Amino acid sequence: MDVIDSAGEMRALVERRRRGGRRQVLVPTMGALHAGHIQLVREGLRHGDDLTVSIFVNPAQFAPGEDFARYPRVLDDDIHRLEEVGHDITVFAPTDREMYPGGMDTHVTWVTVEDLDRNLCGRHRPGHFRGVTTIVARLFNICRPHAAVFGLKDAQQFVILKRMVGDLNFGIDIVGFPTVREEDGLAFSSRNVFLDNEERAQAVVLSKAVRTAERLLMEGEQRPEALVESMRSALAEAPLARLQYAEVVDAETLQPIDRFQSGELVLAAVAAYLGETRLIDSVFVRVPPAIES
């Protein structure tokens, strides 16, 4: 397995491969790889000839006071997990110095997608999506993929990145992969390792909340606020969960919805703290045709 930490070396490698007519695929991650990441990697293998997994805990997407310092960094374990996939995968794992040579304070070039970060996580994590779009744009320029795979678990991130790629003509196919879950429904997350036993047991309420919202909508509920209320009630079942938001928004604009239109794709999403650990979950649902009463 090639493990590359230099942006120049990475770029030279993919340019050679591209000249050979080989289709390049990128799966960007922050490491601490779990079963969800591995499924993204397997999906990526279906979309091209060479697969690169980037591993970089990007300081620019953590707001002050968030968990940048304690975010798990386990590169050796990650490499091992990727070796187990059994394909020739390239790992691009740059250092902070490689990506931000002068440190974060001297970085002045940013990619911002306006308005789509007004709600959901964007409202609570100032600067987060600016950090994400900027690092992903850089990873695209370094790794030059034809396709890149992202998890729908980070639904707002997915919508924003797809918009960035369209608006700026990156010419990269953005593939979304459904959320991979543990047996009880909890979405895999690198942050789940921070949960103690009780928090872990109660964390299942996030997935219950979004599933309840999905069911209500499929059963013909017409009022977005009823879905929001159902998600709030589901979260309230867990004494250790502190709700940050429960929202239902248009899946493209990420703006709140007054009334559902049949055929419209909507996103129901929640974020909550279990102890110190912030978790998110969401579901995309297409509004069914109105049920005649």
Catalytically annotated residues: 37
| Residue (54 or 202) nearer to ligand AMP, CB | 54
Question: Is 174 a binder of ligand AMP (CB under 6 A)?
Answer: no
Of 23, 75, 17, residue with least CA distance to 45: 23
Which residue from 180, 201, 226, 240 is in contact with ligand AMP, where contact means CB under 6 A? Answer: 180
Q: Contact at 8 Å (CB) between 135 and 61?
A: yes
* Residue 61 interacting with ligand AMP (CB under 6 A): no
Assess 151 for contact with ligand AMP (CB under 6 A). yes
Q: Closest distance between ligand AMP and the C-beta of residue 237, in Å?
A: 22
3-class DSSP assignment, residue 24: strand
> Which lies closer to ligand AMP via its Cβ, residue 30 or residue 75?
30
Task: Give the integer Cα–Cα distance in Å for 96 and 130.
Answer: 17
What mask, x for binding ligand AMP by CB under 6 A, covers residues 1 to 30? ----------------------------xx
Is the CB of 59 or the CB of 220 nearer to ligand AMP? Answer: 59
- Say whether residue 153 binds ligand AMP (CB under 6 A): yes
The token pair at 81 is: 């997990």
Q: How far is residue 25's CA from residue 245's CA, in Å, rounded to a whole number?
A: 34
Q: Which is nearer to ligand AMP, 251 or 287 (CB)?
A: 251
| Pairing mode of beta strands 24-29, 50-55 | parallel
- Sorted by sequence, the CB contacts under 8 Å of residue 29 that are 6+ apart come out as 37, 40, 53, 54, 55
| Binds ligand AMP (CB under 6 A): choice among 13, 14, 40, 285 | 40
DSSP H or E segment with residue 155? helix 155-167
For ligand AMP, the binding residues (CB under 6 A) are 29-30, 36-37, 40, 150-151, 153-154, 177, 179-180, 187-190
